[in-house]
Each structure stands twice: as structure tokens, then as C-alpha cells.
């Protein structure tokens, strides 16, 4: 008993150390990568002001003052130390592109839209793709069905934003069934009323469809491989010999045992939702986290890029940690240190 408890504690310590190392490496890379890109974010911000308001007096002094205001005149190691400290305290600073708004205010405004859109799209893609994959890999599925299902996965090779453009052309500009941009109609301001809810759902159908149709194939292929493996297991042969109904065999013995790796991938996908689907949100002008990240990249907004990616890194690392801690409960070999 003491040996098992010691191995479990060692496993926990290793997972927590890996969690901390992952976050540190991710934050470090996200600090360095924007600064390796060409261009000066402050000069770009002043140039945008000049294009909107004409010539800006004393632009050189203004650039220097703003560099001091955002701490960009400090040595790189001081910027790095301040960045790590602020990230650990969830102080994301001020956005350069949307100044004087703070990054956390922008994230707070964009996060609900991304969570609503991508959470539903990811879960739908998971359910539809896993079901299709299970039917493709199940020996008792009708032959005609197994031949038709792969045709439904032909959109997997298309990038989501390309399908989004096609959907806009057909259903927004052609048939005029759905709006082509935005998250809701402006005549229905956000609130707890049915008009706003219906408007938000109506605006979210096309971007969600673009994500679901292009990603469900990955879930289907993974589930198909696991179902093929599961079909030859001893417990499946025993269940068939006992004369259980085909539906019970499919769901309770086949799908239930094959879906564990899919759930792991789903947890990682949910952890990465905060990053949004950047190009899809940009194509549909959807005011979520992906659209904000795109604006931060285009405008060289260090604070916005770092804030968004910090949330993404912490979300994915937390999802991995939860999965790692849940696995020993599902497979005792991990707890004993066999795996």
C-alpha cells in the first residue's frame, strides 16, 4: 500500500512539474516571437493615428513617450521579467491597438462569443464525427452505409475559412438565408431576451457549420480505427456469444470502450478553445477571441498577443493536467508506474 501511495505521489509531482514547465516555455516563446517580427508597434500605432487625423506634430517625441509608457524602452530582460510577473498575476496590461482599453477587458468582451460558438461547434463535431467513425468501423453496419459515409468526410481536406467563404457566397449573398458578418443584429442589443438569443444563434450558424463540417472527419477517422481494434477483443466475442442485441453491442461494448482516446482529444480541444478559430472569426467578422488575436497580430500589439496566447497556453496545459490526473483512475497501470 505504501509503495502504491509513493508511486502515485511521484506521478502527481511529475505531472505538476511538467505543467509548470509547459506554461513557462509557452509564455517565454510568446514573449520572444512577437519581438522577432519586423516593425515597431508604437510607430505603427502613430502611423494609424496619422492616417486618420492627418499629420501628427512631434511624432518622434510621441513615439518615445509611448515606448516609455508601455515599457518598451527597458532592456529585454526587464521586459521579460515584468511580463512573467504580470502573467502570473493575470495582469495583461493595456492594448496598443485599442488603447486605453486593457487587454483583460477585451478578453472579457470576446470570450463569451468564442466559448458559445466554438464549444457548441467542437461538441457537435465530436458527436457527429465519432458516431460516423463508429458506424464506419462497425462490422455489422450495412455495406451501403459504410460506402456512403466516407463521402460525407470529403470536406475534411478543406480549410474551415475556405468553406466559410463558400457558405457566405451561397447562403448569405445567394440565398440570403443568413447574415454574412457580426454576432447579432444591432437592433437587438445583448440581453436576456429571446430576440437577442435568436439573433445570436442565427448569426452563429454559418461559422459553426464551417467548423463542424471541416473537423468532424478527424474525429471520424480516429473513432473508426478504435472501433476496428475493439471489434476483435475477447469481451466483444463473449458478448456476441451471449446473444446480446446488436444495438447494445454497438453502444455499450463497442463505442463505450473505443471512445476513451476521443475524450482525451476532446479535452485538449476544449482547452484550446480560448484561442478561437482565428480565420473563421475573421471571415465572419465574429467578435470573439480569434478575431482579437488576428487584430493583435496585424497591429503588432504585443500586449494583446501575449494576453491571448497566455490564456490559450494555460487553458491547454490545464486540460492536459486534468487528463493526466484522470488517467490513473481509469488505468491502474499508470498509477503503478507500468506506463
* 211 and 127 assigned to the same domain: yes
Total domains, the chain? 2
Q: Residue 305: inside a domain, yes or no?
A: no
Residue 202, Cβ density class (10 Å: 0-12 exposed, 13-18 middle, ≥19 buried)? middle
What are the tens digits of pLDDT across the range 234-246?
Answer: 777 787 777 778 7
Q: Which of 23-32, 95-104, 266-275 bottoms out in mean pLDDT, i.e. has the lowest?
A: 266-275
CA atoms within 13 A on the CB side of 56: 17
CATH number of the domain encompassing residue 198: 1.10.3720.10
Q: Does a structural domain hold residue 316?
A: no
Q: Which of 88, 123, 153 is the last residue of a domain?
A: 88
Q: Are residues 170 and 243 in the same domain?
A: yes
Chosen domain end from 53, 88, 123: 88
So what's the pLDDT on residue 43?
Answer: 63
Note whether 166 and 66 are same-domain residues: no
More confident residue, 2 or 146: 146
Show the domain range for 55: 2-88
Q: In this predicted model, what pLDDT tens digit does every residue of 171-200 receive, in sequence order? A: 988 888 888 888 878 777 777 778 788 888
**Stated pTM of the model:** 0.72
Reduced 3-state DSSP string for the chain: CHHHHHHHHHHHHHHHHHHHHHHHHHHHHHHHHHHHCCCCHHHHHHHHHHHHHCCCCCHHHHHHHHHHHCCCCCCHHHHHHHHHHHHHCCCCCECCCCCCCEHHHHHHHHHHHHHHHHHHHHHHHHHHHHHHHHHHHCCCCCHHHHHHHHHHHHHHHCCHHHHHHHHHHHHHHHCCCCCCCCCCCCCCCCCCCHHHHHHHHHHHHHHHHHHHHHHHHHHHHHHHHHHHHHHCCHHHHHHHHCCCCHHHHHHHHHHHHHCHHHHHHHHHHHHCHHHCCHHHHHHCCCCCHHHHHHHHHHCCCHHHHHHHHHHHHHHHHHHHHHHHHHHHHHCHHHHHCCC
Q: How confident is the model at residue 224, as a pLDDT?
A: 85
Q: Express each pLDDT in 12-65 by its tens digit.
A: 788 888 888 888 888 888 788 777 766 666 666 666 666 655 555 555 666 666
pLDDT of residue 69 exceeding 70, the answer is no
Q: Is residue 97 part of a domain?
A: no
Burial group, residue 13, by CB count within 10 angstroms (0-12, 13-18, 19+): exposed
Interatomic CA distance for residues 35 and 37, integer angstroms: 5
The answer to the question of residue 80 being in a domain is: yes
Amino acid at each position: 500500500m505504501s509503495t502504491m501511495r509513493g508511486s502515485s505521489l511521484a506521478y502527481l509531482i511529475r505531472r505538476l512539474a511538467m505543467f509548470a514547465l509547459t506554461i513557462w516555455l509557452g509564455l517565454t516563446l510568446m514573449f520572444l516571437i512577437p519581438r522577432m517580427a519586423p516593425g515597431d508597434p508604437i510607430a505603427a500605432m502613430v502611423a494609424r493615428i496619422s492616417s486618420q487625423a492627418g499629420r501628427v506634430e512631434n511624432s518622434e517625441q510621441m513615439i518615445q513617450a509611448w515606448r516609455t509608457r508601455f515599457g518598451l524602452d527597458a532592456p529585454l530582460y526587464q521586459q521579460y521579467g515584468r511580463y512573467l510577473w504580470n502573467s502570473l498575476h493575470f495582469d495583461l496590461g493595456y492594448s496598443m491597438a485599442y488603447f486605453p482599453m486593457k487587454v483583460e477587458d477585451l478578453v472579457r468582451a470576446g470570450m463569451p462569443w468564442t466559448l458559445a460558438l466554438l464549444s457548441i461547434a467542437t461538441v457537435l463535431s465530436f458527436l457527429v464525427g465519432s458516431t460516423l467513425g463508429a458506424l464506419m468501423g462497425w462490422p455489422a453496419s450495412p455495406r451501403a452505409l459504410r460506402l456512403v459515409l466516407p463521402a460525407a468526410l470529403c470536406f475534411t481536406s478543406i480549410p474551415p475559412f475556405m468553406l466559410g467563404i463558400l457558405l457566405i457566397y451561397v447562403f448569405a449573398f445567394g440565398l440570403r438565408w443568413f447574415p454574412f458578418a457580426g454576432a447579432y443584429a444591432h437592433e437587438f442589443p445583448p440581453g436576456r431576451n429571446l430576440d437577442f438569443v435568436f439573433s445570436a444563434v442565427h448569426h452563429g450558424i454559418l461559422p459553426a457549420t464551417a467548423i463542424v463540417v471541416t473537423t468532424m472527419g478527424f474525429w471520424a477517422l480516429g473513432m473508426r480505427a478504435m472501433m476496428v481494434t475493439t471489434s476483435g477483443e475477447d469481451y466483444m466475442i463473449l458478448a456476441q456469444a451471449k446473444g446480446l442485441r446488436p444495438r447494445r453491442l454497438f453502444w455499450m461494448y463497442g463505442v463505450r470502450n473505443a471512445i476513451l482516446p476521443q475524450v482525451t482529444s476532446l479535452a485538449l480541444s476544449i482547452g484550446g478553445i480560448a484561442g478561437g478559430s482565428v480565420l473563421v472569426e475573421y471571415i465572419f467578422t465574429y467578435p470573439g477571441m480569434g478575431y482579437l488575436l488576428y487584430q493583435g497580430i496585424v497591429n503588432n500589439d504585443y500586449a494583446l498577443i501575449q494576453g491571448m496566447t497566455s490564456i490559450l497556453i494555460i487553458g491547454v496545459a490545464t486540460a492536459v493536467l486534468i487528463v493526466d490526473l484522470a488517467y490513473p483512475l481509469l488505468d491502474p497501470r499508470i498509477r503503478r508506474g507500468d506506463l
